[in-house]
Amino acid sequence: MTEPEVRGAELVAALQSHDRLLRSAVQSRLGENQAVDEVMQEVALAAVRHSERSEAPANLGGWLYGVAVRCVLLYRRSRGRQARLHERYMDAKGGGGRGQEVPAGPLECLMRTERESIVQKALSSLPGPDREILAGKYSDGLSYRELADRLGIGETAVEARLHRARQRLREAIVELSGDGETRP
């Protein structure tokens, strides 16, 4: 065997013999099993990269422990950056305001923004009376009685107009989204 192969074999043996200790150290610092697996992969990669560049350290177990701790720190920094990025994105998009559920991530924010854009375009394509009755019902939160009083018509007429306006809105959304989905 060549020298790099010998070092690689020593490294694999050291990783296997110290796996339990390293996993315990990583688990105590992170607390979640999926994160432990991710960090252990990074430990193995870092060890392989080091073995390609130089000789194995005298105390391989202690060195691997140090690598594991550094990998935990890098993982936590990475997660912190992702969380801050998500918070900035949510703040920029106005997500999580009063009465709004907070999407799980930037992709959901993007999808929500796209759906809202389609709904806004669909609303603007509707005739004025349809927009007015939909806005009164859903934006202003008016009851059928309040809408009837505002528009000077009966409650039955409000119900029928709302039904037709919602149907036209659905059709406009389907046309704009192009995927046959009717729910915004």
pLDDT digits (tens, 9 = 90+) for 60-111: 788 888 889 999 999 989 888 888 887 777 777 665 444 555 556 677 777 8
The domain defined by 106-177 folds into Arc Repressor Mutant, subunit A (1.10.10)
Q: What residues does each domain of the chain span?
A: 3-93, 106-177
pTM: 0.46
Ranges of residues in the chain with a pLDDT under 50 are 96-98, 182-184
Angle between helices 155-177 and 106-125 (to 10 degrees): 120
CATH architecture observed for domain 3-93: Orthogonal Bundle (1.10)
pLDDT at 145: 92
